[in-house]
Amino acid sequence: MKIFISADIEGTAGINHWDETIHGHADWTEYRALMTAEVLAACEGARAAGATEVVVKDAHDSGRNLLVERLPDYVRIVRNWSGHPDQMMFGVDDSFAAAIYTGYHSKAGTEDNPLAHTSNLKISRLLLNGEVASEFTINALCAALYGVPSVFLAGDAGICADARAMIPGMATVETLFGAGPASNSIAPARSCRLICEGVEAALANGAGGVPSTNGPWEVVVEFVNPVNAYQSRWYPGATAHGPRAVAFEASNFFEILRALRFIKG
């Protein structure tokens, strides 16, 4: 059994400030270790459930955050960014039994995490068929293109609620919740224990599912600055959607992924 893990950092237990997420910043060293610990907990849970191979996509910012020397010998890791439209899910294919998400965070425009965003800080909101979408929304649909079910997510309370609403039966671990610039988090040790136990149970019990990728699809990217909207609307098929937004339509969800690869900047 092969398991795919997409690992982010802004939903890691204990995290609170952008400085803790930036490659090379003094604060990042501590939080890359906590990000790694949560990934390791997910790997251990998958192994306990019978996984023979785990592929981890380091899916935060530089793609070079995880402490690779700590990974067990049954793990492969995808680092940096290939340029492929699958982006945070690059490396997934139809050979995987399940997709797992760690360190995930709330979508742009919400208050559930002081670090809430979608893809980057240029974007104020991203809408998919009229609904505000998160990185998880896009990535779960990406996994679904390969027939891979999304079964478990660890992250802030807001993204956990969104994941359960999108995929009934999805198993989650809520690591923290936000209050303005503050956060209220469980201890990292508890988060790792719950992630390990939660992943094992999710895989054993057949949690989660595969969301429908049937079209048609419309994605609207609303930018903070109209300059970014002007630049992004030159992608083939993209159109202006008000003073700060770009829209793109397709029947195939992979075309949405391809467009986002270039439109969102």
Convert the pLDDT of each residue in 175-192 to its tens digit.
999 999 999 999 999 999
Question: Residue 113 and residue 54: Cα distance in Å, rounded?
Answer: 28
SS3 of the chain? CEEEEEECCCCCCCCCCHHHHCCCCCCHHHHHHHHHHHHHHHHHHHHHCCCCEEEEEECCCCCCCCCHHHCCCCEEEECCCCCCCCHHHCCCCCCCCEEEEEEECCCCCCCCCCCCCECECCEEEEEECCEECCHHHHHHHHHHHCCCCEEEEEECHHHHHHHHHHCCCCEEEECEEEECCEEEECCHHHHHHHHHHHHHHHHHHCCCECCCCCCCEEEEEEECCHHHHHHHCCCCCCEECCCCEEEEEECCHHHHHHHHHHHCC
Strand 182-185 versus strand 2-7 pairing type? unpaired
Kindly give the pairing relationship between strand 2-7 and strand 53-58.
parallel
pLDDT confidence of residue 34: 98
Instruction: Decide yes or no: CATH 3.40.50.10780 for domain 2-114+134-205.
Output: yes
CB atoms near residue 181 (< 10 Å): 9
C-alpha count within 13 angstroms, C-beta hemisphere, residue 27: 10
The pLDDT value given to residue 265: 77
Q: Give pLDDT, residue 116.
A: 98
Q: Could you tell me where in the chain the CATH 3.40.50.10780 domains are found?
A: 2-114+134-205
The pairing of strands 171-174 and 182-185 is unpaired
Give the chain's residues under pLDDT 70: none
Region class of 248: left (phi > 0), else alpha (psi between -120 and 50), else beta: beta
